[in-house]
Amino acid sequence: MSIRFEGRVAIVTGAGGGLGREHALALAARGAKVVVNDLSAADRVVAEIRAAGGEAIASNASVTDFDAVQAMVAQAVQAWGRVDILVNNAGILRDKTFAKMDLADFRLVLDVHLMGSVHCTKAVWDLMREQKYGRIIMTTSSTGLYGNFGQTNYAAAKLALVGFMQTLALEGEKYGIHVNSIAPTAHTQMTEGLMPAEVLAKLKPAAVTPAVLYLASEEAPTRAILCAGAGTFERAYITLTQGVHLGTGADTPERVAAQIAAISDRSGDMVPGAGSAQGANEISKAAAAG
């Protein structure tokens, strides 16, 4: 199987450098027409793509500005007639412990990562529904999935994107729209100074891009959280244990405390197909208990 993108149109946000640049270059190299979105460096990446024989146009739209994002999508449609792939990559960091963090910095990170992805996705959603095809990629993070000291704002935004993905994938399924998430580990401007130089040397942004190309392809799954860094690829899941029925008596809080190990037992845990699986599990156990 060869992953190719001839006839496909892709938008990559935050593509002026780092991960986004690598994603845009790789998509173009495999035949996609690419909208390179970045506040300042989009033209440079477009020039790189064109110099290599590819097709690309630049967009300086801020993902926090829905009107500008809509204009970016209209620009792609005017040039090429469709949008098949959206890679939501734009992001910023404003790291501090929660005790020291200004709420303005919390909101700003949410606005760029979460609402920026919402804006871009909303702008292409009806188009993808009409053409009955789409591939949308959210950029989540191990910080959102598992936490990281000093990054409450970033963690909140990145895990919110997973929840956004989970429901979008359900809503887009009958229209051929697959929605997935990439959790990258890479040395970019955002991670400068956070790790030793010898570690950062292994974490080239290009090492993440193969996972993005797969998630952008016709063969992509939907509702996957694919992790990538330094040439290693993993998959993350949000699971639900089988749980224990303890009733609703006055001593139930104490019974929860006494049974927390059994409640937490991952034997037979599941990856729910939808949020309703939790309620279905609880009701079935309550019914079985009489």
pLDDT tens-digit readout, 214-228? 999 999 999 999 999
The answer to whether 214 is a known catalytic residue is no
pLDDT at 48 over 70: yes
* CA–CA dist 89, 17 (Å, integer): 11
Helix axes 18-29, 209-216, angle to 10 degrees: 50
Judge contact between 50 and 215, C-beta under 8 A: no
Average pLDDT over residues 62-71: 98
pLDDT at 159 over 90: yes
Q: How many distinct helices (H) and strands (E) make up the chain?
A: 12, 8
| Per-residue confidence (pLDDT) for residue 192, from 0 to 100 | 62
Q: Catalytic pick from 154, 175, 214, 237? A: 154
Pairing of strands 232-236, 225-229: antiparallel
The strand order across the sheet containing 85-88 reads 55-59, 33-37, 9-12, 85-88, 134-139, 177-184, 225-229, 232-236
| Per-residue confidence (pLDDT) for residue 167, from 0 to 100 | 98
* CA–CA dist 103, 273 (Å, integer): 35
Judge contact between 227 and 234, C-beta under 8 A: yes
| Per-residue confidence (pLDDT) for residue 201, from 0 to 100 | 82
pLDDT at 190 over 80: no
* CA–CA dist 37, 55 (Å, integer): 14
| Per-residue confidence (pLDDT) for residue 189, from 0 to 100 | 61
| Per-residue confidence (pLDDT) for residue 200, from 0 to 100 | 78
Of 181, 215, 187, 182, the closest CA to residue 85 belongs to 215
Judge contact between 10 and 87, C-beta under 8 A: yes
| Per-residue confidence (pLDDT) for residue 1, from 0 to 100 | 81
The larger pLDDT score, comparing residue 190 to residue 75, is at 75
Average pLDDT over residues 165-173: 98
